[in-house]
């Protein structure tokens, strides 16, 4: 059931205004969203949204606890009804799926540009989480020699990515590191860097530092694809009811941040349909 938008926004606002009832109602409604709240800001919550439409049997590595895993099969009328209700109505859930699709498209495009230049292509994913976009693109390109390195501080996220890429494991390297330590220390160069879904957890000063570090690890002519989340009508619902706290920035703020880095300017901006996420293509010239 998809509500008319004004009714949905009104309902979301009511839940926020009466959050002492709104949060328990959200948790009671279905395990699917209770897990998203429990694992907010992590690859587990994102994977629940990314794979919602595919209705695949959940990978036990995502939720090793059998109690949590069983909820994923959308069992029972209540579970099915509310899982569909939230996933279809919450703009933010729909928009992360659009962000995933755009990231994959941009990765494909970056690969074909780098191939024309004649480079061996190595992708670096910063704060990789499940790395679904990178791995799905790698699945189609590993036979042409494309390789990827994933950086994340979470061992379980990396283990999950390794499982997703088990059929072409030799093309994927996973590194459990703090990006703020790893990037300044490495001498390696990458043709493509992907940093999607990370900027919204990083304060401005650290974000500038991170973009400077990424500049240093990009090969000449290399491409950075990165995203951020913009202020939107569901911000309060996402922070209070879903418990997912992020830093919301406008496109103008991002332009100003980029201007303070060696990249200086944004080559291209692609937005999700409702403008909740903006993805940028930047190039090391």
Ligand X SMILES: C[S@@+](CC[C@H](N)C(=O)[O-])C[C@H]1O[C@@H](n2cnc3c(N)ncnc32)[C@H](O)[C@@H]1O
**Of residues 29 and 232, the one with the C-beta less far from ligand X:** 232
198 scored as a contact of ligand X (CB under 6 A): yes
245 touches ligand X (CB under 6 A): no
According to DSSP, residue 59 is labeled P
Q: How far apart are CA 39 and CA 81, in angstroms?
A: 21
Closest CA to 193 of 86, 100, 107: 107
DSSP bridge partners of 194: 125, 225
Give the nearer residue to ligand X in terms of CB position, either 188 or 265.
188
Nearer to ligand X, 8 or 43 (CB): 43
- The 39-68 site mask, x for binding ligand X (CB under 6 A), equals --xxx--x----------------------
From the list 70-78, 141-149, 176-184, 254-262, the region that binds ligand X by CB under 6 A is 176-184
Select the residue interacting with ligand X from 40, 139, 153, 246 (CB under 6 A). Answer: 153
Distances (CA, A) of 191 to 29, 125, 170, 175, 251: 45, 11, 18, 18, 25
E strands within 49-189? 122-126, 147-152, 172-176
CB of 150 to ligand X, least distance (A): 9
Q: Give the DSSP letter of residue 242.
A: S
- Check residue 154 for interaction with ligand X (CB under 6 A): yes
> Where on the chain is the footprint of ligand X (CB under 6 A)?
41-43, 46, 127-130, 151-154, 157, 178-180, 196-198
């Amino acid at each position: 059931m998809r509500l008319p938008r004004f009714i949905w926004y009104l309902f979301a606002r009511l839940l926020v205004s009466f959050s002492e009832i709104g949060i328990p109602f959200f948790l009671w409604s279905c395990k699917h969203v209770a897990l998203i709240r429990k694992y907010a800001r992590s690859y587990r919550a994102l994977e629940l949204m990314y794979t919602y439409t595919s209705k695949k049997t959940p990978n036990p590595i995502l939720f090793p606890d059998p109690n949590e895993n069983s909820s994923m099969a959308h069992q029972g009328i209540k579970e099915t009804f509310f899982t569909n209700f939230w996933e279809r109505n919450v703009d933010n859930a729909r928009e992360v799926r659009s962000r995933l699709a755009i990231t994959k498209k941009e990765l494909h495009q970056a690969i074909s540009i780098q191939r024309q230049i004649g480079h061996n292509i190595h992708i670096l994913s910063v704060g990789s989480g499940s790395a679904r976009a990178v791995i799905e693109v790698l699945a189609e390109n590993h036979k042409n020699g494309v390789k990827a390195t994933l950086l994340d501080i979470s061992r379980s996220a990396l283990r999950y990515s390794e499982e997703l890429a088990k059929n072409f494991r030799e093309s994927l390297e996973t590194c459990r590191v703090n990006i703020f330590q790893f990037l300044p220390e490495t001498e390696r160069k990458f043709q493509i860097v992907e940093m999607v879904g990370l900027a919204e957890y990083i304060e401005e000063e650290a974000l500038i530092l991170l973009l400077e570090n990424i500049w240093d690890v990009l090969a000449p002519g290399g491409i950075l694809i990165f995203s951020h989340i913009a202020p939107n009508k569901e911000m309060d619902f996402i922070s209070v009811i879903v418990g997912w706290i992020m830093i919301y920035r406008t496109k103008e703020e991002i332009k100003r941040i980029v201007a303070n880095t060696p990249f200086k300017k944004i080559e291209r901006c692609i937005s999700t349909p409702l403008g909740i996420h903006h993805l940028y293509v930047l190039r090391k010239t």
